[in-house]
Structure 1
């Protein structure tokens, strides 16, 4: 009988070896890792980050895996939970279809790699296969930016639950379990994946701070699947082949095109073509607008008090409560509101954890300017989106000093696109990391983390890297090399 999709994914996992991974994929994994560490350490004082840390502590016991930014050790289960929440807390982490992937697939791999003393090459293998697997599953299913008959067609059920397969595969890979364990682990993962509740989150504002999917919860499902298979549970290896009763049906996707999962698997690495990075701690839908707004206010030295109005043309699928919300009741709400995000961006605060400062988020100047923001759907959204996957067409007009200042973008900063300037370079990612690490890591330690990650293939033990990602301590700088 032909191999099931689960069996093919298991074979891909086993067959992924560092020396067979294209250099461009290795480089992308390093970039994702550095960006994720920076997002995590920046969030240790943020509400969502603190709650993740507190829950890891509540899970009990000392362990041999690090909660990033704290220097605290927890079990692999606790560290994975906390680190998933930390990476996603500011909503500044990298994105690739189906959306946020890294907060779900990296934390378990990182915890197991540290606990087992795995080399950097093993972590690259786990990151590469988990991101590739998640991307391919995302391409096989409904997507938020799908169009139909020339109009946006957002799915009625959506979410990132399919990342549980990549997250589980990465854990099993790093635990070096027998190949026979893998199909069972993936089958179990599909059966216990969290529900796709993201569309409910879109519709209910002010929104739940769980967001689209609690990162910590998915890391635990992946950990459970990997360990249950290790201990002898049998998984459903037909779960991705059965459209009528299997994963496609119960996870809620209307579209199921499994060829995207298996075609060229292990030969054609696809996720780097759409891997994007976020300069701003705000939903990606606003980034092209923020790029234009920032350029206008900085080049013309426009103060918030001088602005009489801001009008934006936005992506078509965002006409939903979570983005339309103007009731900013929690700093979390500021990560998604169109009106608030543009009002805050006009204040020219360097992007980072400062955007979540309650004095700024709820400040009179931001709240007053928010009332002057209007928007409508970009008229050429569907046409431009169809032309290139990185398209996020945006136009903005700022009324100030009796003039109208206009800015337009098709590709936001951080995306690979036909415009080379939109790509975030390694130097730019390092600069973002330095901003995020301020106040947590000393400058020497920050430099060590950057250097170690960009030379990850030379790292003999991931635990050495994790020892650097703690509170300021000059003595620890350089310890990993």
Structure 2
């Protein structure tokens, strides 16, 4: 009988050249489009710049793969590392269970696809497989938005480390490896998995700039190393996901393990779309519904920041206990991505979402910092009940006191969520608008038009290299 790792390997190998369901293909293309745009927006961000500089260390000027938004080409490993760091630098990229997946897997699929001159369809399928595997692993393990006895409960050990399996499957698919070699790669990936350090990241302020305790470029390297080593003859452990006593569940630290979530219906049921979300704001996903409500209140009532006496925000209960989110000061511009009261202050200034939210002139402006000090965060009393009924729910309420009046805004879901209400979902047209905003000033309008067209029809692209060439500025 096949182990879970062997079933995952068979699924990946079978899916490499399969005709996947239309809705799976469409969502995967949307994820790729949005993630690439986030990289373009981050080329002058310190975290993105650091990723590019390390790519020079990894691969120098080797002519194998493109770094998005940068003229240079480098080794396939260097490009995957740099692009992963760029894609996640602004915290603007798509969200999927267990958390971030896209900025780890998209750079691997594109770097290998460009190097091997693979088809766009192969990249689309590989990204879909990674998201499906990651979603299923998340369903088997602890997660940060759990509820117990009507209250928020966050596990002592949690994180996104399990994404390494899906990313490794993507690398192996792009290298056209056999199912036996993919199984070895997955076993190697599990044995060399990053730790689940998310809880430490939440508890310490100022938080590490290695977001959520996973460096995207580092996870990409772990996955690519696993695929290469399997191809070169190393043997992986196929029992890591079947052995709850000594295997992956034990050494990754999860207290919850439901292996039936891993492979039941695998290939026939594509579950990841239910947890797929897109971010309208370059900020931690948790307060996005509050941003939606606050912006509407401020915009519709013509409120100026200096008129606002106070803002009270009721948000997600689980997040209110963590210093990373509740910090009222920032040591560097990076901290603006996770300091909730600061994000609310920027939203109240109606700053267009994009790289502008990370501009030091905005982050450190006197008006933003003064308004931040007039904002109070509270736990929404209906959060646990709402999330127990609908995991995508983010009940939020904001009260703005100005002009002697209290203005109120409420939301049940953040924009960009997959929910029963189509109004919460970002359309493909909205994602294209976001992409164009992110690409402005980095690549030409002509290149932007061509990239959008190619990525929206990626399954029809025969060779990824010309598409990636368009993502490098030429002047």
Q: TM-score, normalised by structure 2?
A: 0.98
| Post-superposition offset of 1:93 | 0.4
Q: Which residue of 2 aligns with 1:363?
A: 365
Change in 2 beyond 3 A, CA 1:224/1:386: same
Q: Which residue of 2 aligns with 1:334?
A: 336
Q: Which residue of 1 aligns with 2:291?
A: 290
Aligned residues: 472
Contact 2:16–2:126 (8 Å) recurs in 1: no
Q: Which residue of 2 aligns with 1:158?
A: 158
Contact 1:71–1:467 (8 Å) recurs in 2: no
Contact 2:13–2:178 (8 Å) recurs in 1: no
The 5 Å alignment of 1:130-209 reads: 130-209=130-209
Contact 1:289–1:408 (8 Å) recurs in 2: yes
Distance 1:178 1:19 in 2: 15
Q: Which residue of 2 aligns with 1:263?
A: 264
Distance 2:367 2:79 in 1: 39
Q: Which residue of 2 aligns with 1:471?
A: 473
Contact 2:64–2:74 (8 Å) recurs in 1: yes
Distance 1:18 1:24 in 2: 17
Once superposed, which parts of structure 1, at least 4 consecutive aligned residues long, lie more than 6 Å away? Answer: none
Partner deviation per Cα, 1:270-291 (whole Å, 9 max, x = no partner): 1011200000001000100000
| Post-superposition offset of 1:471 | 1.7
Runs of at least 5 residues in structure 2 that lack an aligned partner in the other structure = none
Q: Which residue of 2 aligns with 1:479?
A: none
Q: Which residue of 2 aligns with 1:408?
A: 410
Distance 1:125 1:60 in 2: 27
Contact 2:108–2:167 (8 Å) recurs in 1: yes
Distance 2:119 2:105 in 1: 18
Please, which moves more after superposition, 13-22 or 356-365? 13-22
Distance 2:474 2:349 in 1: 30
Contact 2:165–2:190 (8 Å) recurs in 1: yes
Distance 1:90 1:31 in 2: 18
CA RMSD of aligned residues (A): 1.0
Distance 1:442 1:73 in 2: 18
The 5 Å alignment of 1:45-60 reads: 45-60=44-59
The 5 Å alignment of 1:388-403 reads: 388-403=390-405
Contact 1:119–1:459 (8 Å) recurs in 2: yes
Contact 2:15–2:129 (8 Å) recurs in 1: yes
Equivalent in 438, 443, 446 of residue 444 of structure 1: 446
The question of 1:87 aligning with 2:87 is answered: yes
Distance 2:398 2:120 in 1: 44
3-state SS in 2 of match to 1:284: coil
Contact 2:130–2:169 (8 Å) recurs in 1: yes
3-state SS in 2 of match to 1:266: coil
| Post-superposition offset of 1:406 | 0.3
| Post-superposition offset of 1:60 | 3.4
Partner deviation per Cα, 1:269-326 (whole Å, 9 max, x = no partner): 0101120000000100010000001111111111111100000001011120000011
Please, which moves more after superposition, 443-452 or 228-237? 443-452
3-state SS in 2 of match to 1:392: coil
Q: Which residue of 1 aligns with 2:219?
A: 218
| Post-superposition offset of 1:18 | 4.8
3-state SS in 1 of match to 2:2: coil
Contact 1:66–1:73 (8 Å) recurs in 2: yes
Partner deviation per Cα, 1:165-186 (whole Å, 9 max, x = no partner): 0110111111012322111100
3-state SS in 1 of match to 2:437: helix
Distance 1:139 1:243 in 2: 15
Q: Which residue of 2 aligns with 1:251?
A: 252
| Post-superposition offset of 1:103 | 1.2
Q: Which residue of 1 aligns with 2:313?
A: 312
Please, which moves more after superposition, 9-18 or 154-163? 9-18
Contact 1:18–1:124 (8 Å) recurs in 2: no
The 5 Å alignment of 1:27-38 reads: 27-38=26-37
Q: Which residue of 2 aligns with 1:44?
A: 43
| Post-superposition offset of 1:206 | 1.1
| Post-superposition offset of 1:76 | 1.1
Please, which moves more after superposition, 463-472 or 295-304? 463-472
The 5 Å alignment of 1:5-84 reads: 5-61=4-60, 62-84=62-84
Partner deviation per Cα, 1:57-103 (whole Å, 9 max, x = no partner): 11233131111111311111111111111110000000011000111
Distance 1:40 1:461 in 2: 21
Contact 2:13–2:177 (8 Å) recurs in 1: no
Please, which moves more after superposition, 62-71 or 79-88? 62-71
Distance 2:235 2:459 in 1: 35
Q: TM-score, normalised by structure 1?
A: 0.97
3-state SS in 2 of match to 1:413: coil
